[in-house]
Amino acid sequence: MTQKTNKVNNAEDPCRADDLLCSVKTAGLIKSSARLIIFLFFTIVISIALIFFISRGFSRTISIAIFLVFFSLTIFEAITLKRIYSIKNRVLHRSKDRIMVDPGEKIIKYFAGILRYGPGSGSYSFFGSGRNTAPENSLILTDKNIWAVAVPIAGSGKVISGTDMSKWQWIAMREDIKKILSKMASDMRFEDLIESCSGYTRIQLDTIEKITFSGISNGLTIKTIGGDKYSYSVRDNEDYRVLKELLDPQR
């Protein structure tokens, strides 16, 4: 019998994730560079023009204010360009803190290609770089919990020049995520699988009050006894059908 390992690198990140990240990053660098050149050009032109107007008696205060506006735009764009350039093409993993899974917890089914929406979801970006606050891309149904996890894949959870990588991976990379998750599930102990993910949410089955489904968006909303809500959109229609059969008490 093959012993399951606890090493993350058994789940290899496919090249498509690297390619997507590099493409988005390159596009962001091109756009930011173009804006920087434009702002720099106008800053120089405005500076020359203001020197001329000041020599003709134009207000120094107003001239300085105009210059500072264009100069600030140039500096902000330079910072944006630097932040985009510094984005690393690497897979993110969780810290080394131990995750306590339930004893004997067994996987019933897993579903790759999910996107969280509604309460608890969202993203932010600051000077060209940011984060998705809920980067989970897969659901794992066990006999005791529902785990929403971010399977480690290059670019997951990143926002680059306004582009949310998690959303694009949900749209275009379900099969890649599924391949990684399948390998992790077969090669790793369950607790090590959860630890290897770059984010996770655990919903205990015995705390669930209500589960509702929305066929329009393949949506799934879980409401707990404590009032928490977790909503996910399932990318694949067949996955949505199977998940609904497993969780819908009215089936």
b/e map 167-178, b = 16+ CB within 10 Å: ebbbeebbebbb
Query: Using one digit for the tens of pLDDT, what is the confidence trace for 104-151?
Result: 888 999 999 999 998 888 888 889 989 988 899 999 999 999 999 999
Q: Tokens 């990240």 identify what position?
A: 21
* Amino acid 11: pLDDT: 44
For residue 123, what are its two tokens? 């993203």
Q: What is the largest CA-CA distance in the chain?
A: 89
Low-confidence stretches of the chain (pLDDT < 70) are: 1-15, 89-100, 249-251
* Amino acid 92: pLDDT: 55
53 membership: H or E segment, kind and range:
helix 15-55
Task: Give the span between the Cα atoms of 234 and 115, in whole angstroms.
Answer: 7
Between the alpha carbon of residue 31 and those of residues 34, 42, 84, 161, the distances in Å are: 5, 17, 11, 9
What is the rounded end-to-end Cα distance, in angstroms, of the chain? 38
Global pTM reads 0.78
What are the residue ranges of helices labelled H in 136-236?
165-172, 174-187, 190-196
Backbone φ/ψ region at 120: left (φ over 0), alpha (ψ -120 to 50), beta: left
With the C-alpha atoms ordered 143, 144, 149, 151, is the resulting torsion angle positive or negative? Answer: negative
Query: Using one digit for the tens of pLDDT, what is the confidence trace for 216-234?
Result: 889 999 999 999 999 999 9
Q: How many CA atoms lie within 13 A of 2 on its CB side?
A: 7
What phi and psi values does residue 120 have, to the nearest 5 degrees?
90, -10
Pairing of strands 129-132, 163-164: unpaired
